[in-house]
Amino acid sequence: MLYYREEGRQSPQREREMEGASGISHRTVEVNGIRMHVVEKGEGPAVLLLHGFPELWYSWRHQIAGLAARGYRAIAPDLRGYGDTDAPPDVASYSALHIVGDLVALLDALALPHVFVVGHDWGALIAWYLCMFRPDKVKALVNLSVAFMPRNPAMKTVDYFRKLYGDDYYICRFQEPGAIEARFAQIGTASIFKTLLQSRDPGPFLIPKEGWDLPEKSPLCSWLSEEDINYYASKFDKSGFTGPVNYYRCMNLNWELTAPWTGVQIKVPAKFIVGDLDLTYHYPGIQDYIHNGGFKQNVPLLQEVVVMEGVGHFINQEKGHEITDHIYDFIQKF
């Protein structure tokens, strides 16, 4: 296990130079019955970058440029329901089988038999499912924030979180169709992003049924710009939050659908990175699981665990270049 302390930021000018925004291509690919927006940059071995909630391909902007500069082909889709990718209306269309099906179809459409995979948040969870269902498609995996947790046959996922944290826990609050979308609309999309992306509270994310106000943080932190906020807000104002929230509404369905994989191990070479201020690093028992053998038992080819000190949940944006270095250092071994 490695610990990394937060270092000083590079100058904005150097970051702009390193990001290399030019050369990014956008296209739409027909996959699994939907049209998927895909961003690419670079040539060489392919690296599939899977974003989380509430994010977009744009969350990987630092890694896209950095990996391309090091001789890799970075591929970052807007996942089903997000951004410029189609958002089917049926909640059940957002199961893990659908999302993994989209990715397998994307790789087939791009004529890629297998790729390196990097996931964050929901993208990390989907990456674990991809490794579970189709390990032949994954050369090696770098996952951020969300460790692999084996299916608990005794309790559905949402029921577990409700028992742990109560009805106000965000995953539980997200279950009622339309409710959280209405709350977000009242608050305003830009304010939602300014608050969520900058959150550094490692405690449970609770949303009271009444009187929930998000304290907007101003000025923005050093790694986030008004341009970034405006990009997210413009896309979510257009496509809405329903598709992204439907991933949470399928959590119990995923529990049912994945019953045949109860007890399965993830047998793909893997590296895991998390910030010590990430709420996912403070679930009851999670640090013992990650560091004292449980994680390694379920992911026997887990080679590295990195804890970044002073870093929050949106780690690939907050520590963009450091995360690119970690990804490169791992995948260049294969």
Which sequence positions are flagged as catalytic? 121, 248, 313
Cβ–Cβ < 8 Å for 89, 244? no
Could you give the C-alpha distances from 99 to 41, 119, 270, in angstroms and in order?
A: 23, 13, 21
Contact predicate 80/51, CB 8 Å: no
Spatial distance between the Cα atoms of 334 and 166, rounded to a whole number of angstroms: 44
**What's the rounded Cα separation, in Å, for the pair 82 and 80?**
6
Q: Let me know the angle formed at the C-alpha of 38 by 35 and 41, rounded to the nearest 5 degrees.
A: 160
φ, ψ dihedrals at 21, nearest 5° = -65, -25
Q: What residues have CB less than 8 Å from 165, skipping those under 6 apart?
A: 172, 204, 206
Phi, psi of 15 (to 5 degrees): -65, -40
Given a contact cutoff of 8 angstroms between Cβ atoms, the answer to whether 303 and 330 are in contact is: yes
DSSP classification of residue 234: H
Sequence-separated (6 or more) residues with CB below 8 Å from residue 82 = 51, 55, 56, 235, 239, 243, 244
Amino acid residing at 177: P
Q: How many CB atoms lie within 10 A of CB 150?
A: 15
Distance from C-alpha of 313 to C-alpha of 203, rounded to nearest angstrom = 12
